[in-house]
Structure 1
Amino acid sequence: MASVEEIEAVNNELEEGSLLPDTAEAEGGAKKNKKKKRKKNNKSQVVASPSFVEHGPGVKLIVVNKNSKCNKSSEKGQTSEKDQTSSTSTLEFDEWARNALGDTLLQSAEDAAKTAWEAPGRIKRRQKTYVFSGELRPATVTQQSRVFHEKYPNIERPDYADHPEGHCLSEQAWPENRIHVYEGSELEIMREACRIGREVLDITSRYAYEGVTGDQLDKILTQACIDREVYPSPLNYYRFPKSVCTSVNEVICHGIPDMRPLRAGDIVNLDVSIYHKGFHSDLNETFFVGKPPREESSGGQAPAQAQGQALQAEAEAVGGDVEMKVVEDSTSTSPVLDLVGDENITITTTSTTTLQQEAPTVWTGDTERVVRTAYESLVAAAKMIKPGCLYRSVGGTIQKVAEGNGCSVVTSYCGHGVGKLFHGPPQVPHYRGSKTPGIMKAGHIFTIEPMINLGANNSQDGMWPDDWTAVTMNGALSAQFEHTFLVTENGYECLTLSRQDILLAEQKKKKGAAASSKHMPEWEDIEPRLRRCAGRDLQEEVTSTKK
């Protein structure tokens, strides 16, 4: 596990060169795309210190949720669509995100329903009789984004982007078992595409807090793609209506972003694919969803608002200055607890405050187990990658890890070749006993993406009426991780690692540890990053680092 000093060193390096867009670029974009003036907010405002404004997008201003508890329907203890959308947190995003979300930031679920994506008749008919396996319900899906077709003709897009049915003709014409070998300029473009895909995932995941909807995450990701002049590969792929897949709780994969707000205690998988200069990259990670970090100010009438998210929390963990000022609005007369909605939050009256982390949501041991198992099965599979390895042999390793932790492997989906095609050969099964052909050779690029369901003998999956959302048959949790790999002469290189993972590996290597900046890190090294969106309690790390 990484030491506090190693984490501190990595965070310092990350602060020197943020993955996020420069503030100047964000401000320039905001000026070019002036939005309608928002109604005056009578609540107090939180002004971030300049040191954090420099980092670009991140949830800088978040009004604390007034009603974070969800209402359960009395029938079978399941949650209705109305219940799922009615408890949306009142959220304020930073300038970059507000620009990305536009007028939809003020849009209610009812307003969104008026312009919702029109589902085909067969889907509507199935919805009337479909029996859902878990508590999750589909919410309103807004219309498919046409930004790339109408506003950004300069952004190169794949053949299916303009096809009325989203058919990928290049995939259909590709020989079934021909595995492309990447070298030279193609390999360099693939590295670039994978790096951009990782940046887009890292930016989007910073907003995965309680109260943020899948639809908002989709719009944020779309803007991140526009900023980098890349196309989000899922958009219109066989008519998939969004730019990213958001799979929550019992959803195995291909969840469609909708108006349901995320809740503390959820897990959410963000599956990101981008198209850059004729090549696709593909990766995903599962995150623990928690409440946003909250500000603690002292006193009676000062409203509490949340500030920060990942960058501020990381800075506090390494002893950084996270001082903020509360600017009072004289027209505000609302009692503090009406704004906070949580009697456990301590309010003080000082005008200068410091960021306080929300006590972490307690996920069950089962929740942590299925997420960790999904990641560790991928790590074990990656260690097998080298020239001469049979693609089908990877599945046995994945299944062994899953079953050893009381989980099951989904057998309906597999890893795949990626690059010139979004999905192509080879197929990489995640279970033992497959007869899939193919031998790894240097220059092959493919994904491994095990989908792990909680519980033994629980590998079966079902499909929601939307014909995309795959779910567990019994409502159990499901988790997934995916990376894009290159087979090298001596092993493999993971092309979709985060900068934090790479820097941490380099720090460990300097200290003599057996670590590689091209290989996947262990669970203990990435767990804090996955919990960053969970309001993780950093007090122990803060105390240790400040000594």
Structure 2
Amino acid sequence: MLTKQKKLILSHAQRDMMRRAGSVNAELMDFLRPHVQAGITTLEIDKMVHEWTYDHGHKAATLGYQKYPKCCCISINEVICHGIPDSTVLKDGDIVNVDITTIVDGWHGDQSETFLIGEVTEEKRAVTQCAFDCMHLAIDQLTPGCRVATIGETVTPEAHRRGFTVVREYVGHGLGRQFHLDPSIPHFPNRQSRIDRLFAGMCFTVEPMINAGTRYTKSDKQDGWTVRTKDGRPSAQFEHSILMTEKGPEILTETKNGPEKGHRF
């Protein structure tokens, strides 16, 4: 176990590479931001991701990953994650999560945001606020060497306090030269997360998926990717890439124009 964890520790030069990957990915999110509005198709957003990424000399991590067909994941309303961009038009009242991952000189930057399109229901607004707040609350609790379970022990009680649930089937992950690395980062406490620790030099994502209704999910058997809430109620998610430093967690995917900690939707 110790040997395995040592492999996850980045040198200072490698940390800088991850910082650059995160910064590039955040720049892409800010580029997309004004376009995520009513009237655009999710396929048009994906095309923007493709053009911006490759025009800047980078790669979209999801394109071809385990045969995934697009450059990003776009999940609307009851879709929890892995929504495939298509001809669907965003409309007033939707909430939509845009999840982007960019490979920059071999290193991965990964993040997602949930956008509110026009006037949304109070339930959609509240579940979006909860996902955003839970992400930041969890990040704020992290310290060098802390247990991974710190994240789940923060997210789950807060979500339940607000009347929402936490998805268990899909979790955060280590990040670096590969898209998905150890350790697994569940947003609920379990046995393994009480064992795994987050040491200085480790990169990982914090990305709670919060459901308005049941925590249970159902996968689309036709496309093999899209995951929806089992009861059809809305779900929201936010994600940042995090570098644990000797002083504490550093957010690598902070945007210039996006919502900051404490934002009210």
**Which TM-score band (shorter chain)?**
over 0.9
Q: What's 1:459 paired with?
A: 215
Report the 3-state secondary structure (helix = DSSP H, G, I; strand = E; otherwise coil) of the residue aligned with 2:22: helix
Deviation of 1:189 (Å): 1.4
**In the aligned structure 2, how far is the partner of 1:407 from the partner of 1:440?**
27
Which residue of structure 1 aligns with residue 85 of structure 2?
A: 257
Q: Quote the Cα distance in structure 1 between the aligned partners of 2:229 and 2:191.
A: 22
1:226 maps to which of 54, 66, 77? 54
Q: Secondary structure at the match of 2:169?
A: coil
2:112 equivalent to 1:372: no
Deviation at 1:444, TM superposition (A): 0.8
Alpha-carbon shift at residue 178 of structure 1 (Å)? 6.0
Partner Cα distance (1:461, 1:372) in 2: 21
TM-score when scaled to structure 1?
0.46
Q: RMSD of aligned C-alpha atoms?
A: 1.6
What CA distance in whole angstroms lies between the structure 2 residues aligned with 1:233 and 1:188?
Answer: 19
Question: CA–CA distance in 1 between the matches of 2:200 and 2:83?
Answer: 34
Aligned twin of 2:144: 387
Q: Does the 8 A contact of 1:377 with 1:398 survive in 2?
A: yes
Counterpart in the other structure of 1:206: 34
- Over 3 Å counting, the alpha-carbon distance change for 1:469 and 1:375 in structure 2 is same
State the match for 1:523 in structure 2: 263
Q: Which runs of 5+ in 1 are unaligned?
A: 1-174, 291-360, 505-519, 528-547
Provide, for residues 442-476 of structure 1, a one-character-per-residue CA deviation record: whole Å limited to 9, x for no partner: 11110010000003xx1110001211001000100
Give the one of 193, 196, 200 matched to 1:438. Answer: 196
Match of 2:64 among 221, 236, 240: 236
Q: In the alignment, residue 131 of structure 2 is paired with which amino acid?
A: A
CA distance in 2, matches of 1:467, 1:176: 31
TM-score, reference length from structure 2 = 0.94
Corresponding residue of 2:23: 195
1:186 Cα deviation from its structure 2 partner:
1.3
Q: Could you tell me which amino acid in structure 1 is paired with residue 10 of structure 2? A: Y
Q: Which has the higher strand share?
A: 2
Hey, what's the Cα distance between the residues in 2 that align with 1:399 and 1:523?
20
Aligned-partner residue type, residue 197 of structure 2: I
Query: Which of the numbers 450, 469, 485 marks the counterpart of 2:208?
Result: 450
| 2: CA distance, partners of 1:403 / 1:382 | 18
Equivalences for residues 65-214 of structure 1 within 5 A: 180-214=8-42
Supply the AA of the counterpart residue of 1:203.
F
Contact 1:396/1:433 (<8 A) preserved = no
- Aligned partner of 1:403 in structure 2 is 160
Identity of matched residues, %: 35
> Is the CA contact (8 Å cut-off) linking 1:378 and 1:398 kept in structure 2?
yes
Q: Is the 8 Å Cα contact of residues 178 and 425 (structure 1) preserved in structure 2?
A: no
What does residue 95 of structure 2 align with? 267
1:276, distance to aligned residue in structure 2 (A): 0.9
Counterpart secondary structure, 1:383: helix
Alignment coverage as a number of residue pairs:
261
Deviations 1:253-304 (A, max 9, x none): 00000001111100100000000111111000000113xxxxxxxxxxxxxx
1:179 and 1:417 in contact (8 A); partners too: no
- Which of 1 and 2 has higher RCO (CA within 8 Å, sep 6+)? 2
- Offset of 1:188 from its aligned partner? 1.4
Q: Determine helix, strand or coil for the equivalent of 2:157.
A: helix
Contact 1:234 1:240 in 2 (8 A): yes
2:249 paired with 1:492? yes
Q: Render the CA deviation track for 1:300-354: whole Å, top value 9, x for unaligned.
A: xxxxxxxxxxxxxxxxxxxxxxxxxxxxxxxxxxxxxxxxxxxxxxxxxxxxxxx
